[in-house]
Structure 1
Amino acid sequence: MSKVPAGWELLTIGHIADTVMGFAFKSSDFVQTGTPLLRMGNLYQNEFNLNRNPVFLPEKFKDQYPRFIVKSGDLVMSMTGTMGKQDYGFTVKIPVGSKVALLNQRVLKFISKKNNNSEFLLNVLRSDLTLSLLYSLPGGTKQANLSAKQIQELPVLVPPIPEQTKIAQILSTWDKAITTTEQLIGNSQQQKKSLMQSLLTGKKRLPGFEGEWFKATLGNVSKPQQWPTITSNQLTDSGFKVFGANGFIGYYSDYNHEFECVTVTCRGSTCGEVSLIPAKSYITGNSMCLDDIESLINSYRYIYYALCHRGFNDVISGSAQPQIIGAAIKKIKIALPPLQEQQKIAAVLTAADNEIELLQKKLAFLKQEKAALMQQLLTGKRRVNVETA
């Protein structure tokens, strides 16, 4: 813990907030409609969502279990997760207008003491410093099971109430910018999805284009093949980029694709994922490369978008180890307009991707800057000016 700034105190979470652990409600009490039950899955990735696998309890339970009621403005934390994945410790402030819910077991509610600022507490609980302490706590072998006592004993630097409020206001401004950018990304992704649905099916034609489309198999328009896989020992610290089933994995002394290439992951958890691999890359045998697409007849970028839209669920086999075989890839059919229309459609969708990418970079920048600011404000390394009455 950092040095205590002048005017601050080194306390624990238990000094500034009481905690209530949720109740082990019985599944036999679940009903079709009623009071929502707030479970850990509703707090995934610091996002509150009662519509994720909703469960309900009888309305009368609100009167029978008043201690476990959660409402707008309350802070709640998930207390169990998989060790190593760090999917516990998610903390959420229940949004304004949310339905009153009941708190399930392994979810912790915070109740601020002595008018301590709840937004300040939220930022403390989400800070890298607090999370690093959480993830270092012993909690079992396969699962991390945090206790209320462990949370209450976490150290925290606490400024006076006016300074807490000012810090919370500053960080809230960043949160609003982050939320706005996330909404813009969501809107852009939805617009792109609508464009793909209309343009790649011919339901909507771009100006200046008409005439029939035709269908062809991937085996007709390309040469689907898998290239030799290289071992991890063969990877180097520099050279040409290597791409496997999960994307970029390192560098190699040579490349097997001189130009940009469309690939389909053909095994593993990402089976069926379509990618555009940059020029001068080595593509391992975990992906099917759609080689030799004749650029005078078809646009490889159009084919990429057409396959993203189509998906591969109907040709994936196996459950423990999903895979797609070359024979199945070759038989897949896609609708192909004339080359110029393919190129125009691909250009429209590429522009949509570029817009989303720019917004994602902006979002990453905002989150990085906010994290750096939190580190300074919550440790007192940067002090805020508090206006006196």
Structure 2
Amino acid sequence: MSSEVPKGWRHAKLGEIAALSGGTTPSKSNDAYWTQGVVPWATPSDITSLPLAKTRIAATETHVAELALKECSLKLNPPGTVLMTSRATIGYAAINDVPMATNQGFLAFACFDICDPDFLCHWLNANKTALTAAAGGSTFKELGRGTAKLLPILLPPLDEQRRIADVLGSIGHSLHLADIAVKKFDDLLSALRRELTHHPDLTFDGVGRVSLHDLCRPRQHPTISSQQLTSTGFPAYGANGQIGFYTSYTHAAPVIAITCRGATCGTVNWIPAQSYVTGNAMALDEVRHELINERFLFHYLSAWGVAKSIAGSAQPQITRQSLNGIEIALPPLAEQNSVAAVLDDVLSQLEAASTARTKVEAVRSQVTADLLSGLVRVPA
């Protein structure tokens, strides 16, 4: 934090701007504390699972009975309290819209008159790294109440806090709308993929069923180590997307690659031209274009998956032989071309929406940093 204080701002400690309290977990062995619970009781997952743009919480997965409030020293936080995760995953904050209790994985901030709750919520979310660094513990990190009270904050006047919160809230709303757009296109693409292609286990007039091996040659190319990757060159792809660059490429043209190892096993990817596909992904080489439109095949596999070919639980994997059991319901080529064109159009809209969302998120990050530091001021 800069030592230069913007005009009208001042240094403060979190304990000077809010009263901090914790939460607790009523005994799980006493059913009376849980049966027919009506009081919202937050755990960290209720906060960390919120969309990035959301800073309000009105519901929790778990509820406790009112008896737990009376007998377990369980604090009921009034609406407008800033609830921040303080264990393991630290610094995720939201404001409760309804009276809410929490478990011990939280610090609750009841703001004094000099601090706006929305401003503090944005500040906490923007300072996760510093909050985590201040935490102690060896088994898992925890930010204690005593430590948190002493942490410094650069505090604008109350009216400017509110203006800052309004600006950040507006950008957050834009990000929320962008999230909605991305989800709508993603849901539309998923639905259309299944609607416009045919289930491999069903029979349809005019639609043949062929093995994936009849349409292409699945192949694993040599795996390259992390030490062999370069900072520039041709993009290299492994089990989790692009892993870096390499000095040569395996494919001059775009290719379908199916992740064949690890947690993402079975993921279907479209790899761009002049890329290196490592042995952690199965490249579908030598596609017989006289039989199948390659983009249709990509959408088809994305819709119906290759779960039948996955073996192993501790270390899932796909082999060339196991892919032989994947059947494709194959309509005439003209129909494939039409279906691929429709699905590609929806996919391009999804990608455009995702790109727009990424830009909004970048703007939000930069504006948050500028406003919370006082580098940029919000006029009255």
Fold-level similarity (TM above 0.5): yes
Q: 1:199 aligns with which of 181, 196, 200?
A: 196
Whether 1:221 and 2:222 are equivalent positions in the alignment is no
Mapped to 2, the partners of 1:49 and 1:169 lie a distance apart of 18
Q: 1:307-361, CA deviations, whole angstroms, 9 ceiling, x for partnerless residues?
A: 1111233332222211112211121112111112112212222221211111111
Match of 1:243 in 2: 237
The list of structure 1 runs, each at least 4 consecutive aligned residues, that deviate by more than 6 angstroms after superposition, is: 48-52
Does the 8 A contact of 2:308 with 2:326 survive in 1? Answer: no
Could you say what secondary structure the match of 1:60 adopts? helix
Does the 8 A contact of 2:251 with 2:275 survive in 1? Answer: yes
Q: 1:362 aligns with which of 341, 356, 378?
A: 356
Letter paired with 1:61? A
CA root-mean-square deviation: 2.3
Q: 1:75 aligns with which of 60, 74, 82?
A: 82
Match of 2:6 in 1: 5
Match of 2:41 in 1: 37
Does the 8 A contact of 2:26 with 2:72 survive in 1? Answer: no
Does the 8 A contact of 1:181 with 1:363 survive in 2? Answer: yes
Q: 1:202-223, CA deviations, whole angstroms, 9 ceiling, x for partnerless residues?
A: 7xxxxxxx95211111111111
Q: CA deviation at 1:148?
A: 1.7
Q: CA deviation at 1:149?
A: 2.0
Mapped to 1, the partners of 2:62 and 2:294 lie a distance apart of 46
Mapped to 1, the partners of 2:280 and 2:259 lie a distance apart of 6
Match of 2:115 in 1: 116
Mapped to 2, the partners of 1:58 and 1:297 lie a distance apart of 63
Q: CA deviation at 1:265?
A: 0.7
Q: Kindly tell me the number of residue pairs found equivalent between the two proteins.
A: 369
Mapped to 2, the partners of 1:32 and 1:197 lie a distance apart of 42
| Distance change (3 Å), C-alpha of 1:50 and 1:221 | farther
Whether 1:60 and 2:67 are equivalent positions in the alignment is yes
Q: CA deviation at 1:180?
A: 1.1
Could you say what secondary structure the match of 1:69 adopts? coil
Q: 1:337 aligns with which of 319, 331, 342?
A: 331
Q: CA deviation at 1:32?
A: 5.5
Give the alignment of 1:186-335 within 5 angstroms: 186-201=183-198, 212-335=206-329
Does the 8 A contact of 2:24 with 2:74 survive in 1? Answer: no
Does the 8 A contact of 2:14 with 2:152 survive in 1? Answer: yes
Letter paired with 2:80? G
Mapped to 2, the partners of 1:41 and 1:230 lie a distance apart of 38
Does the 8 A contact of 1:221 with 1:294 survive in 2? Answer: yes
Letter paired with 2:75? F
Mapped to 2, the partners of 1:65 and 1:199 lie a distance apart of 57
Could you say what secondary structure the match of 1:143 adopts? coil
Mapped to 2, the partners of 1:113 and 1:262 lie a distance apart of 57
Whether 1:183 and 2:180 are equivalent positions in the alignment is yes
Does the 8 A contact of 2:256 with 2:283 survive in 1? Answer: yes
Could you say what secondary structure the match of 2:262 adopts? coil
Could you say what secondary structure the match of 1:68 adopts? coil
Mapped to 2, the partners of 1:198 and 1:71 lie a distance apart of 48
Could you say what secondary structure the match of 1:79 adopts? strand
Could you say what secondary structure the match of 1:242 adopts? strand
Does the 8 A contact of 1:38 with 1:50 survive in 2? Answer: no
Whether 1:146 and 2:150 are equivalent positions in the alignment is no
Q: CA deviation at 1:263?
A: 0.9
Is there any run of 5+ residues in structure 2 with no aligned partner, and where? none
Match of 1:207 in 2: none
Does the 8 A contact of 1:224 with 1:288 survive in 2? Answer: yes
Mapped to 1, the partners of 2:36 and 2:321 lie a distance apart of 48
Could you say what secondary structure the match of 2:167 adopts? helix
Does the 8 A contact of 1:29 with 1:57 survive in 2? Answer: no
Identity of aligned residues (%): 30
Whether 1:102 and 2:105 are equivalent positions in the alignment is no
Is there any run of 5+ residues in structure 1 with no aligned partner, and where? 82-86, 203-209
Q: CA deviation at 1:58?
A: 2.2
Does the 8 A contact of 1:45 with 1:90 survive in 2? Answer: no
Could you say what secondary structure the match of 1:56 adopts? strand
| Distance change (3 Å), C-alpha of 1:357 and 1:29 | farther
Mapped to 2, the partners of 1:213 and 1:171 lie a distance apart of 53
